[in-house]
Structure 1
């Protein structure tokens, strides 16, 4: 756009057998020990300044405040507010509607009007207050309204942080960092489970509030100071950063590295650029696999309902799924590191999709030994490893267009949350829990489509480059 190529790839972004296009190595030389440690985490090979990031904390509170309803639901909220119909899924639907309506406008605001370092923390503060207000809800209608506005405000977070990561990190670094960023959600899920278990045992009934009400209050108390720190910690883009903690040489290094990688900075957004973004093949070829891997991997969301139906205690229902969150964290880092080191985004993400399909096959059969069903639920957590690879791949494929990179995940999120607004209502109705008639079979279909989408994205990228 504006005379610059839409597609400008690095070696790591070239699918499999495509010939090299030559990309200057911008990493400092490393010792043998640093290279060995770099197999596990690449900043041992580079500058210390690259190790810190606020985005993990930001996404941690985002997911903590997004998913706490699930822990609250199995810890007394269902009984206290008489949520015996499809209300649990409707809580997801109203949240998703807020995300859908807010995602692209929020990203356009960050592109054109307000810096991410001002916009994102302001949204975080506002939704934290609304999360605290959920503790006072007396009926599902109040929860629906609050969840909608929390979703509307949270729409800035995931695409905003993904775009920032894509602006600061290179091809051999990005997938594992997106994985670590995304797996802040797994850490948040684990933390929420343990927190709810502790509050249920220690705070239930204190101050006239139930344990699930205290969960919303404590989540807000955790989120507010992190949001305030965001005003100072978020660095914006390398070419316009005002972060006080970045030295002059750090800023110069970041800009030089962007230029050497061929990664175009974000420029002034115009209607012409916006039209080109939404009419080009890159955006839509990215959205299809991005959407499908997200839909195929949602089976673990219903794990706690099965545990409750099996008669596990409230504490166990909140804590057992945290082992799955640990699995998703490890899987994401392992597969992300493999994708970074080998450059084989396509093959690595397809392997993850196959694992998820196996998990969904076991869950769709259902009438298998309890241990096998438990294994299938835990295996489904591996699905979290696919999306970070797809995001990193998309950022690399579109690195010659800053505006497209900014809108890539934001637009993908609209489709993901649109599907999530109605798919669970249709295939995972709460009244069928925990044994759903068609749910996991449909997830197998999504898994197959995700493999097709990944292959297609790789084919189109390879055809343009080779």
Structure 2
């Protein structure tokens, strides 16, 4: 019996020795499961290429999101108000009502998206619905009909932007997020440029076709294009790392995607996201004053950016015909798209946020001042460029929000949606900042933009100081514990 037992033990001994050695290797090299550090870097580059290709569809979707939202501004130049018999502030009400539905739905939408874990289905379905509603706007004949379609358009469009921000924050690290957020938001910026060009072509070429006014064709065509792209997006968009379809991503790449997020936040919490915890996330976000501070800061920025919906009207103050007016809207936003990418990429490389937000808004304030001081055509056109590039700072602001609430995912989902939803109150107020009675100089409107942009800069500075203090506390805590490798730090 003893001999047999000894023999059995000796046969098992080698495997017992190997396992601790393997564990030691794993501790020494955390990338061992991916073949070592070099192999992991190669796999990571491949993963990012795949992700970037698939996420690029979000840019197209965002272009159409804003085109469908802002085409009323272009339609206004070709009989929209007259055909619907709009009077007084009714056009401004049509613009603002969209944001009522937009505000109501953002938080519930992101909570639902986090729960089901299937953005590849949820976002395209919402897109199909808002495309259909855009088409229906083209058949309305009165203020009430247009009001209803615009309200429900905002109700459904609310799903996209906070959902897209949450989706990319689940795949990209903080050092990668600014550039990707910039590329996403470039969809918004480009929509202002090419939306005006598309509108110019439709409004010039489709007037009277099949007995329909040109502005009606604008809603028909752009809405139909949205539905088509939504069908394509179902097969392109990824889900979350833990829920994504496996056919485009290997199991090793999926594990690496989840590992990257754990390392970036300093803790693994994917299970918390997928199992639930959304009520807890909602409570954590609501009671965090940083969320509300950022929400108020972004609201001020949105009021300062309210010129966006009236850009064709401001361009028209230079005295050109409607076609040229729409064409002149494009260059400022092409310039802004380039600026947004450059500034966001530099912000990622340096790990700095505040000055990359403040710089563009200071430039915008200069633009507002020029527009107040002169009606000279060249000067006013330059001012439009300076105003538009404020969006470069706004893009970095979105990235800063995602960076400042890294975990748990349920809190981040609610925080991103809450900040974006609350900030849309700025669009509701901003819709009334540009009444026709203040034109063509719009000096009062520009003064409001200067005040709100300045106040937003002050709020961002206070937030930066607070995050600096939190980082100092984290430094002190790590020194006391003897930790040599720095953990998570807020980006300033």
- Could you say which TM-score interval applies, normalised by the shorter chain? 0.7 to 0.9
Given that residues 299 and 425 in structure 2 are in contact (C-alpha distance below 8 angstroms), is that contact kept between their aligned partners in structure 1?
no
Aligned partners of 1:464, 1:213: CA distance in 2, in Å?
A: 54
1:199 aligns with 2:206: no
Task: Please point out which of 229, 232, 237 is paired with 1:229.
Answer: 232
Helix, strand or coil for the counterpart of 2:183? helix
Rg: which structure is higher? 2
Which has the higher mean CA deviation after the structures are superposed, 245-254 or 56-65? Answer: 245-254
The aligned counterpart of 2:468 is 462
Deviations 1:222-255 (A, max 9, x none): 1112112232222222122226422323312211
CA separation of 1:243 and 1:88: change in aligned 2, threshold 3 A = farther
Could you list the per-position Cα deviations for residues 50-99 of structure 1 after superposition, in whole angstroms to 9, with x for gaps in the alignment? 32112112212211211111111112223333335323211111111110
Find 1:348's aligned residue among 356, 365, 383: 356
- The 8 Å contact of residues 86 and 430 in structure 1, kept in 2 or not, is answered as no
Q: 2:380 aligns with which of 362, 366, 373?
A: 373
Over 3 Å counting, the alpha-carbon distance change for 1:197 and 1:101 in structure 2 is: same
1:126-205 aligned at under 5 Å gives the runs: 126-205=129-208
For 2:222 and 2:336, how far apart are their aligned partners in 1? 22
Instruction: Give 5+ residue unaligned stretches, structure 1.
Output: 1-23, 31-42
In structure 1, the residue matched to 2:450 is 444
Deviates more, 1:108-117 or 1:154-163: 108-117
Find runs of 4+ consecutive structure 1 residues off by over 6 angstroms. 24-30, 43-46
Corresponding residue pairs, total: 430
Structure 1 distance, partners of 2:335, 2:38, is 34
Return 5+ residue gaps in structure 2 as ranges: 1-29, 473-492
RMSD between aligned residues: 2.5
Whether the aligned pair in 2 keeps the contact of 1:232 and 1:243 (CA below 8 Å) is no
| 1:235–1:243 CA contact under 8 A, matched in 2 | no
SS in 2 for 1:233: coil
Distance 1:429 1:451 in 2: 26
Residue 50 (structure 1) aligns with: 51
8 Å contact from structure 1 (residues 234, 243) kept in 2: no
Structure 1 range deviating more: 131-140 or 399-408 = 399-408
Tell me the equivalent position of 1:431.
437
| Counterpart selection for 1:258 from 237, 242, 261 | 261
**Distance between the aligned counterparts of 1:203 and 1:145, measured in 2?**
25
Distance in 2 (CA, whole Å) between partners of 1:144 and 1:224 is 21
Instruction: Determine which of 396, 403, 425 is the counterpart of 1:396.
Output: 403
Output one character per residue of 1:417-455: Cα deviation in whole Å (capped at 9) or x when no partner.
223213432x32233333335211111111111111211
In the TM superposition, residue 133 of structure 1 has moved relative to its aligned partner by 1.0
Match of 1:14 in 2: none
Of 99, 104, 113, which aligns to 1:101? 104
Question: After the TM superposition, which of the residue ranges 73-82 and 176-185 deviates more from structure 2?
Answer: 73-82
Distance 1:134 1:392 in 2: 33
Counterpart selection for 2:283 from 275, 291, 299: 275
Structure 1, 304-313 or 455-464: larger mean CA deviation: 304-313
Corresponding residue for residue 13 of structure 1: none
Output the CA distance in 1 between the equivalents of 2:46 and 2:248: 22
* Structure (1/2) with the larger helix percentage: 2
Q: 1:194 to 1:106 in 2, by over 3 A?
A: same
Provide the secondary structure at the position in 2 that maps to 1:312. coil
Is the Cα contact below 8 Å between 1:186 and 1:326 reproduced in 2? yes
Taking the aligned partners of 1:292 and 1:310, their CA distance within structure 2 comes to 28
Residues 119 and 239 of structure 2 are in contact (CA less than 8 Å); yes or no, is this contact kept in structure 1?
A: yes
Contact kept, 8 Å, 1:196 with 1:211, in 2: the verdict is no
2:170 aligned counterpart, secondary structure: helix
Q: Structure 2 length normalisation: TM-score?
A: 0.82
What SS is found at the alignment partner of 1:232?
Answer: coil
Q: Name the SS for the 1:71 alignment partner.
A: helix
The equivalent of 1:9 in structure 2 is none
Superposed displacement of residue 28, structure 1: 7.9
Contact 1:127 1:150 in 2 (8 A): yes
Looking at structure 1, the residues matched to 47 and 108 of structure 2 have their Cα atoms a distance apart, in angstroms, of: 36
Alignment-derived partner of residue 411 in structure 1: 418
Aligned to 1:19: none
Matched with 1:118 is 121
TM-score of the superposed pair, with normalisation by structure 1? 0.86
> What is the rounded CA distance, in whole Å, between the counterparts of 2:166 and 2:394 in structure 1?
14
Of structures 1 and 2, the one scoring higher in RCO (CA 8 A, sep 6+) is: 1
Alignment partners' CA distance in 1, 2:90 and 2:38: 56
